[in-house]
Structure formats: structure tokens, C-alpha cells
Chain A
Amino acid sequence: MAFDHEGYAQGKEILVRAHGVKRVYHRGSEEVQALRGVYLNIYRGEYVCVMGPSGSGKTTFFNMIGGLDSPTSGRVFIDEVDMAQLNAHELAFLRCRKIGYVFQSYNLNTVMTALNNVMLPMLFAGKHPDDARSYAMELLEKVGLGDRWNHRPMAMSGGQQQRVAIARALANRPSLLLCDEPTGNLDLKTGKEIHQLLSNLHKNENATIICATHDHNMLLASDRMVWIRDGEIDRVELSKDVKIEKASLGTDDD
């Protein structure tokens, strides 16, 4: 049921485990089954791309595994901790330290400088402002914005904003990086920058990344691809198997 491929899970440690996750939204008297029972294991150090048509439930799934919403039924474990067992403060702790979020629309605080944006999660984690500042500078340099730390989001391009957002997501060295269409609002060139940044993180620092995307460059860099359709996992493929079918993805860029 967990769509594990022969031998793929061998010797790998499960980081996220979704077990029969269902989510029903009530829109007036109408019921929307956003997730109809998702079973999936995500392993430590993995780069997973999640795909599916619009409205298939990708964002809903991310909300479940990111501790942003709770399932109607089923369970989500992070490092074998049942999220349903956590209280509000523990969830805040989890979101702060264990998970980094990269949003499609950046979601930077517009009144703060890039540096302050990156510092914010560290301050929430109780880090001393001086330590937070120096590490935030380090992160900004890593995403290539060392000289722009004092700019506000308004004064930056979309790609730069998204890079600040990635730096912010990395602030507390999370175990898991959740990216919901991080290049959705970017042009191809800047999208490529972000993709490069994420795959470098994956390669060099062995970060666990779950990424909803349609960008085939990203798909190629990932370990596995998860296809969601109508709130269910349609299929899971190893990227190395798909590579040959590059043309079949129907993307015509590059």
C-alpha cells in the first residue's frame, strides 16, 4: 500500500509516514474529499516530487504532513511521532524546528528586511538575536543574497524573494523541507535557480525535500515522483526509471 519499490526502502530510515490519511472539507452542505486515504513513506535524505493536476490534493497533503492541519481520519507520523498526539505548543515547536516551509507565493513579511525575515524563525526558537543574525547572514550568503540582506521583499525580484524564503525555511536546520510549487510564480530562468538551490541542498547536505512541482528539471533531480489524482496516490515512480521517458512528460522547455 505504501507504494514502495522493490529494494528501494532497504536501509533507509522513514522520516514521514502517512497512514490512510483522509481529509474532507465541508463547503456549505457539500462535502469535498480532498484526500481519500493516502499511504506513503518518505525516507530521510530523500528528494520527492509530488505531482498531480490542479485540485488533486497536493496542498492538502502538504498541510497534513507539515503539521498545518489535521486529517479527518488516518495518521501522520514524523520520525515515528504521531502528530495527532501533539498539543498546540508542541506543534508550534515542530513547525519551528523540524519542518521548513517554502510557499508558492513566498509569504515573506513585507515590512521586514530579508535578514529579519530569515531571523524570525530563529527568534521563535529562542535563539539569541546575535547568533540568529550571524547564522541568517550565513544562510543568505548560501542562497546568494549576502549583499542584499538589508533589502525589503518589495525591492527584490520573485526569484530573490523565493531564495530568501528558502533561507528562512532552513533557519532552524529542519529535518524536512516542504515546498508547495516553489517555482509556480517564477519564470523559467529564476525557476531554474531555485531548482538548482534545492537540488544542491539535497546533494550536499542530504536534506529531505518534498516538493510539489510541474517543473521537469526538478523531477529529473528528484529520487522519486509521487503522482496524486483525485485525492489518492495514483503511482509512485523512481526518477531513474522515468528519465528515459523525458519526452512523455509533455514539457517542451529547455
Chain B
Amino acid sequence: MAQKNAIDVRKQKKLSLGRSLKICLRGMTHRLLRSTLTLAVVVLAVAFFMTLLTENVFIASIAAGAGNEITLQREASVTLNFLYVAPADLIHSKRLATTWESSNETQLALYAKFTATPIEEIRQLAKLALQEQQYLEFFNSLSVGKRLILVQKNQGRKQFRFLINPGPWQEFVENIKVFKSLQVPGGIAEMRSFLDGFETYTKKLAKVTAAWHDSIKTFTAASEKITGPDQIDDWLATAKANELTAWLKTVQGFGFDFSQEKLDRICKFLKIEKRRAEIATILNSATKKDLWQKTLYTKPALDEKMVMLTNDKVADTILESKFNREDLQEIVNHIKHERVLAQQEANLVGKTNMEKGELLSEKQLFLLFVSFLVCIVGIANAMLMSITERFREIATMKCLGATDGFILTQFLFEAAIQGAVGGIIGVIIGFALSLLKNSVTFGSYLYHYFPGEGLLLCGLYSLAAGIILSMVASIYPSWAASRMAPMEAMRIE
């Protein structure tokens, strides 16, 4: 018989993704319950991933916070040192060199203002200062023998003064050639010209230093009898509010970036430090030592003992009510705070991968890789099980005209939805676990420096990981499902 194409057999239409998704979504809740095993695996994996990720985010955020606090505390002494220590020429040279090197324009302007010198001159001076520092460094890096040959026994500025004389300079140049590997920074000619201008440079530097001293005197006048950093510490700790305001105005008048807030912080810090020193003196005085060693002898460190002083009786007997309870509590809090900070710093050493731009360390990546592998196998296995359970359903769909592609997309959609739902649950669980774990380690610091944005990002990453993981794991099972023979629909068990 001739082959007559009575039925018009065409290719089956491909359903659009939207339609496929709609069909998949029907009864999705039903499916989700049915595949609790797969869901559980996804949840576990995502929770694990989330804890790993967030741990680093927490650590990084707390490190930044603790670091910031520590800087703030140290800022006090640094700033005061800058304002009240009248440094020698050489120290000025160093300061100028670093500001020039870091091309810090505001710092240079401040310098100019503070020393009442034109900015151009300061620039010139800073440039020469950098040169001087480089030469000094060069000399210092030489071995003793070589330096002896080059600049005889001199050190520091004396080396320059020695070289300014024509005889030694000739020798220096000759000897440099002997040590072939030696390179004077910028070359011999530049050094010669530096040495030519050395006298004027030192004179100018001395002038700037003198101007600095003058400015400091102005400060001293503004804040009564302060002459050095020790005294300003004392003064700030005890000064009245109006005196402090006057002082702040003077400081700001010189162009320093010094806010009221910063001043308050410094004052508080100094006040506490002062009291702490006083208590320490009392504790260490000959008469008290005996007494408090009897009461608190098990605690060796002074700070520890101070913490114990909050115990009423002890404080009263030892300090003879010289300090009121609030003061004492404040000091103790401060000590505790400092200790936490120190501990935080120690905790965080080597842990701040975030600062290096990495979210995970190599070890964590390895862990993650292994766990993902396990998860993929687990999910694939659970999916395969659910597919054998549903083989009749799949085969029936094929009898009704579903193409392999349709079945494949159904299962992949299902996997994606499962990944998303499991991922959301996993993110929440992971976050809770991580919060619990880190709040044990970091205490209230955790809430103080709560990295909201970072955590959100972690959540999104984890969710994406869950979806991708679940989809990757179901590629094979979905493919297997799509290849199921339609005749299975006819079978009855």
C-alpha cells in the first residue's frame, strides 16, 4: 500500500516557559511537602553556607568597629602630643617629610598656618625634609664598616656637615664608586646640591621650629599654665566647661580639626585615666598594700583588683570612701571595655579576610566545596527517589503529549522553587545560628556594630547558592525523568 499521509503529523509544539511554570506551580505546595527530604538538604546546605559567610561579615564589622574605637582612644594622646610637644628640628624634618610624601595638602596648610610661614616655603622645606630623611635612611642602612669609610664616625646631621667640606666630599664620591652596588638616592649630583643648600635649609627649619614653639606658647596662654603634654592631660581632666570651650576655640583658630565631641571624649578618657592612676597609688601605698593583699590577694593584676573593688565592702575598707560609687563603676566599666577591645583585637588577628577583599578563607572554601558536593549528591538522590515515586504521573503526561523538554523544565522549575523555599528557610536558620554563636563570642559588640548590609548580601548569596545548588543537583534526575518511557503509564503494580 502506498504511504499516504492521511493524518497531518507535525511536530509537537513547545510550551512557553510561562505556561510551563504555571503548570508547575499548580500543586506546588503539595509537591513541597512531598519532597521534604530534598528541602531539608537544601535548608542544611544553605544554613551552613550562611553561617560561614556571616561569620566573616560579623568579624570584619566588629574588627572595623573595635579598630575605630581603639583609634579614637589613642587619638587623644596623639593630638595632644602634636599640639604641646615642642619638637627639635630633626623631628620637624621627619614630620614634614611624611606630610610631603603623603602629599597631604591640608596638613601642609595647617603647618603653614601654625608656624606663620608662607605655604610655598613650607612646600620647599617639606621637599628638602623628605630628601634629608632619605639620605639619613640611606646612611643608617649602611653597614658600620662602609659608613666608617664614607662619612667617618659621624651620625645624624653631623654626616652632612662632614660632607660639606670639600676634602671629605671628594673622598666620599671616590669611595662610593668602590662600593659598586651603593646607590645614593637621587644620585650624587642631587646630593651635592642638597648639601650646598643645607645651611639655609637648617636655618629655615630652625625658624619654623621656633614659630611652632611660639604657637604652642599661645596655646599655653589660652589654657593657663599648660606647658607640656603631661600638664595638658591634667588640665583637660579637671578643666571647667567654659575653660575647655575657650581652649577649643584657640585650637580651632589654628585650623585644627577638633570638634567638641572629640574634646569630650578625650576629657572623659583622661579623667578616667587620672582616677585610675590615683586608685593605683592608693592600692600600692605601703599601708594599704597589706590590707588589700589580704582581701584580694588571689588576683595578681592591678586592673583585676580594681574590677573587684566594685564589691562594696572591699572598696570601703580600702579606699576609705575617697571615691564615690559611680566614679568607681565608671572606671571599672572602662577597664572592662578596654579588656574587651583588647580581646577583640586578639580574636580578630588573621581573621579579617573581608579586608583582603575575600569573603571566605581557603579552608572555608574547601569546607564549602565538600559540603556542596555532599548536598548535590543528597539532593540528586532525593530527587531520583521522588521521580521513581512519580513515574506514572510523568509517563501519563507523556501520553497526553508532553515533550521531553516540558518534563525537563517542570523538574528544573520545581528544583528552583524548592531551592528558593529551602534557601529562605536556610538563610533564616543560618542567620539565627550565626547570631547565636557570634553573640557568645562578641557579646554586645555584635549589636553595636551590626553589619546589616553585609548580612543582607550574605543572605542573597546563600539564597542564590541554594537555588543553583538545587538546580545543578536535579539536572541528572530531571533528565532521567524526561527520558521515562510513556508505556510506564499503562503498567499497574
A79 at the interface (CB under 8 A from B): yes
A68 within 8 A of B: yes
**Minimal beta-carbon separation of A101 from chain B (angstroms):** 5
Segment from B45-53, B261-269, B401-409 that makes contact with A:
B401-409
Q: Is B421 an interface position by the 8 A CB rule?
A: no
A residues near B313, Cβ cutoff 8 Å: none
The smallest beta-carbon distance between A37 and chain B, in angstroms, is 19
Question: Which residues of chain B from 311 to 363 have any CB-CB distance to chain A below 8 Å in the complex?
Answer: none
Among A79, A107, A124, the residue within 8 A (CB) of B406 is A124
Contact (Cβ within 8 A) A81 B13: no
Contact B10 A107 (CB under 8 A): no
Q: Are the CB atoms of A96 and B12 closer together than 8 Å?
A: yes
Whether the Cβ atoms of A80 and B4 lie closer than 8 Å is: yes
Contact B11 A93 (CB under 8 A): yes
Query: With an 8 A cutoff between CB atoms, is B398 at the interface?
Result: yes
Stretch of A83-91, A135-143, A231-239, A245-253 that contacts chain B: A83-91
Interface window among A45-53, A108-116, A191-199, A217-225? A108-116
Asked if B23 is at the interface (CB within 8 A of a chain A CB), the reply is yes
A81 to B158, CA, bound (A): 109
Which residues of B lie under 8 Å from residue A123 when comparing CB positions?
Answer: 15, 19, 23
Contact of B400 among A88, A129, A168 (CB under 8 A): A168
Q: Which parts of B382-404 form the interface with A (CB within 8 Å)?
A: 392-393, 396-404
Question: Which residues of chain B have C-beta atoms less than 8 A from A126's C-beta?
Answer: 13, 15
- B401 touching A101 by the CB < 8 A rule? no
Complex interface: chain A residues within 8 A of B404 (CB): 88
Whether B401 lies near A125 (C-beta < 8 A) is yes
Minimum Cβ distance to chain A for residue B220 (Å): 86
Q: Is the CB of A69 within 8 A of B7?
A: no
A93-B30 contact in complex given A68-B485, A78-B7, A80-B3, C-beta closer than 8 Å: no
| B401/A124 in contact, CB under 8 A | yes
B166 at the interface (CB under 8 A from A): no
Note all chain B residues with C-beta closer than 8 A to A109.
Answer: 27, 393, 396-397
| B9 touching A93, Cβ below 8 Å | yes
Contact indicator per residue, chain B 10-37, by CB within 8 Å of chain A (1) or not (0): 1111010001000100110011000000
Whether, in the assembled complex, A94 has its beta carbon less than 8 Å from a beta carbon of chain B, the answer is yes
Q: Secondary structure at chain A's binding surface: helix, strand, loop or mixed? A: mixed
B7 (CB) vs chain A CBs: closest residue: A79
Chain B: how many interface residues by the 8 Å CB criterion? 38
Docked-complex contact B398 and A95, CB < 8 angstroms: yes
Q: Quote the shortest CB–CB distance from B410 to chain A (angstroms).
A: 11
Let me know if B7 and A175 touch, CB within 8 A: yes
Does B401 lie within 8 Å of A69, measured CB to CB?
A: no
A89: chain B residues at CB < 8 Å are 11-12, 403
B30 nearest CB neighbor, chain A only: A111
B440 at interface, CB cutoff 8 A: no
Within 8 A of B (CB), among A119-154: 120-121, 123-126, 129
**Are B10 and A90 touching (Cβ within 8 A)?**
yes
Residues in A with CB closer than 8 Å to B4 are: 80
Given contacts A95-B399, A109-B393, contact A120 B13 (CB under 8 A): no
Q: Is there contact, CB below 8 Å, between A124 and B492?
A: no
A221 to chain B, nearest CB (A): 23
Known: A69-B485, A125-B13. A80 touches B6 (CB 8 A): yes
Residue of B nearest to A89 (CB): B11
Most buried by B among A92, A94, A98, A111: A92
B486 within 8 A of A: yes
- A92 near B401 (CB under 8 angstroms)? yes
Q: Which residues on A sit within 8 Å (CB–CB) of B11?
A: 87, 89-90, 93
Once the chains are docked, how many angstroms separate the CA of A68 from the CA of B9? 16
B189 at the interface (CB under 8 A from A): no
Question: B490 within 8 Å of A by Cβ?
Answer: yes
B487 and A63: CB pair below 8 A?
Answer: yes
Q: Do A111 and B490 have beta carbons less than 8 Å apart?
A: no
Instruction: Assess the A124–B402 pair: CB atoms within 8 A.
Output: yes
Q: How far is the CB of B158 from chain A (nearest CB, A)?
A: 94
A215 at the interface (CB under 8 A from B): no
Specify which of B26, B399, B487, B491 is in contact with A111 (CB 8 Å cutoff): B26
- Name B146-173 residues within 8 Å CB distance of A: none
Q: Which residue of B lies closest to A19 (CB)?
A: B1
Question: From A94, which residue of chain B is reached at the shortest CB distance?
Answer: B9
Contact B26 A68 (CB under 8 A): no
- Residues of chain B contacted by A66 (CB below 8 angstroms): 399
Whether A103 contacts B3 by the Cβ 8 Å rule is no
Q: Which residues of B contact A88 (CB under 8 A)?
A: 403-404
Residues of chain B in range 471-493 having any CB-CB distance to chain A below 8 Å = 485-487, 489-492
A78 CA / B342 CA spacing, docked (Å): 85
The distance in angstroms between the C-alpha atoms of A107 and B395, with both chains bound, is 9
**B490–A120 contact, CB under 8 A?**
no
Asked if B5 is an interface residue, CB under 8 A from chain A, the answer is yes
What per-residue 1/0 map shows which CB atoms of A13-25 lie under 8 Å from chain B?
0000000000000
Cα-based distance from A78 to B8 in the complex (angstroms): 11
Which residue of B1, B10, B400 is within 8 Å of A95 (Cβ)?
B400
A104: chain B residues at CB < 8 Å are 490, 492
- Identify the closest chain B residue to A117 (Cβ): B400
Q: Are A98 and B400 in contact (CB under 8 A)?
A: no
Q: Of B6, B393, B402, which contacts A92 at CB under 8 A?
A: B402
Q: Complex formed: what's the CA distance from A47 to B30 in Å? A: 39
Q: Which residue of the partner chain A has the closest CB to B399?
A: A101
Tell me whether B12 and A92 are in contact (CB under 8 A): yes
Asked if B5 and A81 sit within 8 Å, CB to CB, the answer is yes
The verdict on A80 contacting B5 (CB below 8 Å), with A107-B396, A124-B406 known, is yes
Contact of A120 with B399 in the complex, beta carbons under 8 Å: no
Contact between B492 and A105, CB atoms less than 8 A apart: yes
B27 to chain A, nearest CB (A): 3
Interface string of A69-85 (1 = CB under 8 A from B): 10000000011111000
B485 to chain A, nearest CB (A): 7
Give 4 new A-B contacts, CB below 8 A, not counting A68-B489, A95-B400: A69-B486, A89-B11, A96-B400, A125-B401
The 5 closest A-B pairs by CB, nearest first: A96-B401, A111-B27, A79-B6, A92-B12, A124-B401
Q: Which residues of B contact A (CB under 8 A)?
A: 1-7, 9-13, 15, 19, 23, 26-27, 30-31, 392-393, 396-404, 406, 485-487, 489-492
27 contacts between A and B (CB under 8 A): A59-B491, A63-B490, A69-B485, A80-B2, A80-B4, A81-B6, A88-B403, A89-B11, A92-B398, A93-B10, A94-B7, A95-B486, A97-B401, A101-B400, A103-B396, A103-B490, A107-B396, A107-B399, A109-B393, A112-B27, A120-B400, A123-B15, A124-B12, A124-B13, A124-B406, A172-B401, A175-B7
